[in-house]
């Protein structure tokens, strides 16, 4: 379970303190899917960066199960991300010189699994995202929707406990958005993975277990 308590975050811009998140309290249960909405600049990306430990809080606490994300050092944080977290970005961040299969297997290269097992896990996740037939294609030949599904497969392949996704359908048309979100939510439920997804798209909200709205750095 992810627990965010009394979280605040400020940035310093030319020595001026700019408060971006104020007193955020949020609990996300195991296997729960959560959408985070709010206007541009309301602090959504900042909140995700704090959850993943990419950025550090100004005050407050974030825990995930037994891990206190807000007090871990850089090397524990990278291990935590590798072992428990999947991250999906708006711009897919795939490696174009590699095939779909190779992109999806990348996070497994950091594990000590046998090659057979890595291939098995990658094939399984490609199947669940309806990408199996594209396994050997280089990712620069894919459509936007397919590329984002590869990025999702890459985030899911390590079977993380939590996925965070920042506007993952921001670049997709409606059809691709619907398919992508359907497959993402279905895969999270199958793998018992929690999901925190930032989205502007009101039509997607009803598919999530819970929706939270940020406005001027506060949950409303
Ligand atoms: N590294 C930073 N330094 C200074 N200000 C930042 C930094 N990152 C984000 N901000 C500011 O914090 C606010 C929230 O940004 P962000 O979390 O990206 O919003 P959202 O994702 O909801 O659009 C914005 O006003 C943005 O300019
Ligand atoms: Mg953002």
pLDDT in tens, 36-76: 999 999 999 999 999 999 999 999 999 999 899 999 999 99
In a domain, 7, yes or no: no
In a domain, 20, yes or no: no
Asked whether residue 93 carries a pLDDT value surpassing 90, the answer given is: no
List, as ranges, residues with CB under 5 A of the ion ligand 2.
44-45
In a domain, 14, yes or no: no
Ligand 1 close to Cβ of residue 50 (< 6 A): no
Q: For position 110, which CATH number holds? A: 3.40.50.300
Domain that holds residue 183: 32-56+73-219
Distance (Å) from CA 202 to ligand 2 centroid: 16
* E strands in the chain: 2-13, 16-28, 33-37, 59-64, 67-68, 85-88, 162-166, 194-198, 210-215, 218-219
7 within 8 A of 50, measured Cβ to Cβ:
yes
**For residue range 158-194, what is the model confidence (pLDDT) as tens digits?**
999 999 999 998 888 888 888 889 989 998 999 899 9
Distance (Å) from CA 47 to ligand 2 centroid: 9
Mean pLDDT taken over the chain: 93
In a domain, 38, yes or no: yes
**pLDDT on residue 173:** 84
217 within 8 A of 19, measured Cβ to Cβ:
yes
Ligand lying nearest the CA atom of residue 41: 1
Backbone φ and ψ of 134, nearest 5°: -105, 5
pTM of the model: 0.92
Among 55, 66, 75, 65, residue whose Cα is nearest residue 10? 55
34 has which bridge partners? 196, 210
pLDDT band at 78 (very low <50, low <70, confident <90, very high): very high
**pLDDT on residue 170:** 85
Sheet holding 59-64, edge to edge: 16-28, 2-13, 59-64, 67-68
Residue closest by Cα to atom 27 of ligand 1 = 41
Distance (Å) from CA 46 to ligand 1 centroid: 6
120 within 8 A of 135, measured Cβ to Cβ:
no
Total domains in the fold of the chain: 1
3-state helix, strand, coil in the chain (%, to 5): 40, 30, 30
Residue closest by Cα to atom 13 of ligand 1 = 41
Ligand 1 close to Cβ of residue 199 (< 6 A): no
In a domain, 12, yes or no: no
Ligand 1 close to Cβ of residue 73 (< 6 A): no
Percent of the chain past pLDDT 70, that is, above it, reads 100
């Amino acid at each position: 379970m992810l627990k965010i308590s009394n979280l605040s975050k400020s940035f310093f811009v030319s020595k001026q303190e700019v408060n971006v998140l104020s007193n955020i309290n949020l609990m996300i249960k195991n296997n729960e899917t959560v959408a985070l909405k709010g206007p541009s600049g309301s602090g959504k990306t900042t909140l995700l960066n704090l959850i993943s430990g990419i950025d550090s809080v100004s005050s407050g606490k974030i825990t995930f199960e037994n891990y206190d994300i807000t007090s871990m050092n850089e090397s524990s944080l990278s291990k935590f991300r590798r072992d428990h977290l999947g991250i999906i970005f708006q711009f897919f961040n795939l490696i174009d010189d590699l095939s779909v299969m190779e992109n999806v297997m990348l996070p497994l290269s950091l594990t000590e699994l046998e090659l057979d097992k890595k291939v098995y896990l990658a094939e399984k996740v490609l199947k669940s995202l309806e990408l199996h037939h594209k396994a050997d294609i280089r990712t620069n030949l894919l459509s936007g929707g397919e590329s984002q599904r590869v990025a999702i497969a890459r985030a899911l392949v390590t079977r993380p406990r939590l996925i965070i996704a920042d506007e993952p359908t921001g670049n997709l048309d409606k059809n691709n958005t619907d398919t992508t979100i359907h497959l993402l939510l279905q895969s999270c439920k199958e793998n018992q993975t929690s999901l925190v997804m930032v989205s502007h798209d009101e039509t997607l909200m009803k598919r999530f277990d819970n929706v939270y709205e940020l406005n001027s750095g506060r949950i409303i």
